[in-house]
Copies of this chain bind each other. A is one copy, B any other.
Amino acid sequence: MEVGDGNLNLVFIVTGERGRVVVKQALPYVRAAGESWPLSLNRAYFEHHALTRLGSRAPGRLPQVYLFDPLQALQIIEYLQPHVVLRRQLIAGEFLPRLAPELGVYLARALFRGSDLCMPTAQLKADVALFLGNTELTGITEDLVFTDPFCECVRNRQTPGLDAEAVAARRDSELKIAALELKTRFCTVRQTLLHGDLHTGSVMACEADTRIIDAEFATYGPMGFDVGSLLGNLWLAWFAQVAHRVTVEDCASYRRWILQVVAEVWGAFAAEFSRLWRTERNGILGGKELFELQHDPGGAELVLQSTLAGIWEDTLGYAGIEMHRRIFGFAHVADFEDIADDALRAACARKALAAGRQLAVYRRSLTTVAQANDLVAGHGMAR
């Protein structure tokens, strides 16, 4: 049974006597666009390398990979049950108690352990070189996330009712400067191995467990890109709630929960990142020789705090850009697309754009997750 709902690949669930597996196969084109947009099959090779690396850095958070067949661009992967794609659950209004801490810890482990804070540097440099080969999918991110949404481009799909907003964004120097600065960091700052497409459709969750899937966009880049993609999509879900919840009370309480998830993801990330900083900081950028080994533990703590502040600034920037590209760009999100009423969809998206602009442009001014959540909440509208 073909069950894929992503933009790129075929996904089959195969049932046999001994159980079920997922078979994921790359097509020589973009599934969502058809054969007119060719795409090379070697993305399966990079996804395989990414899944195995991220899985070993954050044990338990990725599906097991049983087999990779490069010739068929095919992977056989653990079938996750009773997990459901997170984006679907956010539209349905489900509460997931383990989601926030498991995502925060995942992010800290995957991002910290893939960086020169931790890895042997020769291995890291060889890995950076390997993933520099993933030019085609990285190029999609470069274009579709950072450039197309702020230009007239045939790949864009415009949400009805937002023509004025699209024109305004394309005239907005501050927003475009933020987009270009964040693109520049995405392309030049090779800080760690990113998942590269960590939206709420790349998370499968159930009450007891949270998993990360779909790593073909993996590339070395700034840590805040993955964190920001995730938080941006959570905030998009927040803006869409007025259309998906029936009562004012349900909407308010589920929105509170989403903002709590955002705060807890960042909180768990910062806590686990700090723990790893103090216990696994053995890479060439760890600086232990400068600080701990010279009786200067305070210096190391100061660098930890400025490192976290830098990741947070990037996080807000990438979240704000993500909130634009999902409304103006090629790849929209079901949170909005599932809203049947054009006017209501546009109204929700308009609020998301206003918040996203402020997150991206004023990313240096909003220094805590509470401030960012308050900014988002300030753009809310009653059901």
Contact = CB atoms under 8 A, between A and B. Distances in A.
A116 B189 CA distance: 12
A92 interface: no
Interface stretch (A123-131, A311-319, A326-334): A123-131
B306 A181 contact: yes
A220 B124 CA distance: 15
- Chain A interface residue bracket vs B: 35 or more
A284 B142 contact: yes
B184 A285 contact: yes
A253 interface: no
Contacts of A176: 287, 290-291, 296, 299
Contact of A126 (B132, B138, B191, B290): B132
A293 B151 contact: yes
Interface in A137-193: 138-139, 142, 147, 150-151, 170-171, 173, 176-177, 179-181, 183-184, 187-191
A3 interface: no
A4 interface: no
A135 interface: yes
Contacts of A294: 151, 170-171
Nearest to A126: B132
Contact of A177 (B122, B133, B188, B302): B302
Nearest to A289: B151
Contact of A132 (B116, B125, B139, B299): B125
A303 interface: yes
Contacts of A128: 128-129, 132
A180 B285 contact: yes
Contacts of A132: 125-126, 128-129, 132
A150 B288 CA distance: 12
Nearest to A138: B125
A178 to B, nearest CB: 10
A308 to B, nearest CB: 14
Contact of A290 (B147, B188, B284): B147
A285 B129 contact: no
A173 B296 contact: yes
Interface in A256-297: 284-285, 287, 289-291, 293-294, 296
Best-surrounded residue of A133, A173, A181 (most CB of chain B within 10 A): A173
A147 to B, nearest CB: 6
Given A142-B284, A287-B180, A188 B116 contact: yes
B290 A180 contact: yes
A19 interface: no
A188 B187 contact: no
Contacts of A179: 290
A139 B15 CA distance: 51
A151 B139 CA distance: 42
B187 A150 contact: no
A180 to B, nearest CB: 4
A119 to B, nearest CB: 12
A121 interface: yes
Given A116-B184, A183-B285, 9 more contacts: A116-B188, A126-B132, A147-B287, A171-B296, A176-B287, A177-B303, A188-B191, A188-B285, A189-B190
14 contacts: A116-B188, A122-B135, A125-B132, A126-B132, A128-B129, A129-B132, A142-B284, A151-B290, A173-B291, A177-B299, A177-B306, A180-B285, A183-B287, A188-B189
